[in-house]
Amino acid sequence: MPFHNDCQTLSEVTAAFEAYEQALLSNDVASLQNFFWNSPHAVRFGVTEQLYGHEEIASFRQARIPNFNQRQELKRSISTFGDSFASVMYEYISNYDDGPRPGRQSQTWVKIEGDWKIVSAHVSLASEPHAKIRDNLASLGLIPEGENLPSIQKHFETTAFLAGGLMAYPLPNHIEPAPVFQP
């Protein structure tokens, strides 16, 4: 059984990931290209692109105009297996030109000829967790305070859970269903 999160390996991958993030924020294209495995089998799925092979990834990096200037880390999970394989899961908020956006990034790192390389990566933007709730309440003319949104979300989730169970039972014929609410 390979060692999971061996201190030395974890330290190496963490340093490589942090160097990658620094290169990303400073748009150091040469370094960014060097972090990816130089192979036609390297893969990077982005917000709007699907890149197969180091050549496509390098071309994307050369042409890309960064539209964010900093990222705030929300959560990071690094798992290593043995001394040459790791995964990095990362949640963040990026400050884009049009405002902050939450995002997610996953990377698979492999130690190849002594250097840590990204062999696959996936980046996506996440919707704000409470945006749908805020929009639904606004459609009813209700504007909740920001600090109340997590509590409101929890109540909605509980209500949906309970309603889901009740919806599984058919109504007896002598009971008329309630009309659908239309705001």
Q: How far apart are CA 113 and CA 43, in angstroms?
A: 19
Q: How far apart are CA 22 and CA 10, in angstroms?
A: 18
Chain segment 156-180, per-residue pLDDT in tens:
667 767 777 777 777 788 877 777 7
Chain segment 23-48, per-residue pLDDT in tens:
998 999 999 999 999 999 999 999 88
Between strands 115-125 and 50-52, the pairing is unpaired
- Give me the residue label for tokens 């239309």: 182
Which pTM was predicted?
0.69
pLDDT recorded at residue 15: 98
Topology of domain 7-125, CATH: Nuclear Transport Factor 2; Chain: A, (3.10.450)
Q: Which helix (H) or strand (E) holds 101?
A: strand 99-112
Q: How far apart are CA 77 and CA 98, in angstroms?
A: 28
pLDDT recorded at residue 144: 62
Confidence of residue 1 (pLDDT cuts 50, 70, 90): very low
Q: Which residues of 45-69 are buried (b: 16+ CB within 10 A; e: fewer)?
A: ebeeeebebbebbbeebeeeeeebe
**pLDDT of residue 153 exceeding 70:** no
